[in-house]
Amino acid sequence: MPGGPQKWGGFAEIQARSNGVMQQFFYNELKGGISYDLDRNFTLTLAGGHYATYDFKALSDGPLNTERRLWQQLIINQYLSRLKFEHRFRIEQRWFTFRDGSHPFRNRIRYRLNGFMPLNKRTITEKTAFLSVYDEVFLNPVGPTFERNRFYAGLGYQVDKNWIIQVGWVNQTNYSPATFEKGVFTPQAASGKNNLVLGLTYRINRKSASVEKLPSQPD
């Protein structure tokens, strides 16, 4: 039914990050939002979250900084026979609180191209193994424009209508701006980190659950 309840959706996510496997935790996220499917190929989302970064050597001292974030998002899906693509466009508003008492505000624009390939079926539905690869760029409208790049490659399995398991590798590279101070030019610098990603997703069962829905990660 056009405009009916099957077009509305939502998500909630809890995430933790560490410098080792189940040790040296330094970061956590709590976020959620609502979505509306214009049709099979177009989805709008409004979401928000709370983020905290810690010094893993002194967790009891509290967070180094916290962030409240609101974002608006458009997803465009392409189903090309066995190969599927997701284009995700996101605009973020970010409010920070640092330990020194400062409260800066920043905007950010993100674009992610995510490709999926089912391995044992032509569609990603129940009991389907699949490959997932994406690259996402993070842009600062104030500058420096190119702020971050995130690349992911992984393997997933959709167990049934509700559960999806994914494991993969992600490389995240942050870029610092070039500077010219006291007559000395310092070029743009990049620092990267490789991480192992383990994801477990639960979807609320819908009447339309038999229709192929791409198993994209909310983050």
Residues 24-80 have pLDDT tens digits of 888 899 999 999 999 989 999 999 999 999 988 887 788 899 999 999 999 999 999
Q: Report pLDDT digits (tens) over 173-216.
A: 998 765 556 555 445 567 888 989 999 998 876 655 557 889 99
CATH number for the domain spanning 63: value is 2.40.128
Residue 183 within a domain: yes
Q: Look at the alpha carbons of 99, 25, 31, 116 in this order and tell me if their dihedral is positive or negative.
A: positive
- Asked whether residue 213 is domain-assigned, the answer is no
Domain range for 129 is 5-202
Query: Is residue 218, in this structure, part of any structural domain at all?
Result: no
Q: What is the mean pLDDT of the chain?
A: 88
Q: Would 219 be classed as within a structural domain?
A: no
- Nearest CA to 132 out of 81, 170, 106, 189 is that of 170
Number of domains in the chain: 1
CB atoms closer than 10 angstroms to residue 158: 24
Is residue 207 assigned to a domain? no
User: Could you give the CA distance from residue 189 to residue 28 in angstroms, rounded to a whole number?
Assistant: 26
Determine the pLDDT at residue 192.
83
Alpha-carbon distance 89 to 126, whole Å?
Answer: 28
Please give the order of strands across the beta sheet that includes 23-37. 8-20, 23-37, 42-53, 65-80, 83-98, 105-118, 128-139, 146-158, 163-176, 189-202
- For tokens 């916290």, the residue is 66
Q: Does some domain include residue 131?
A: yes
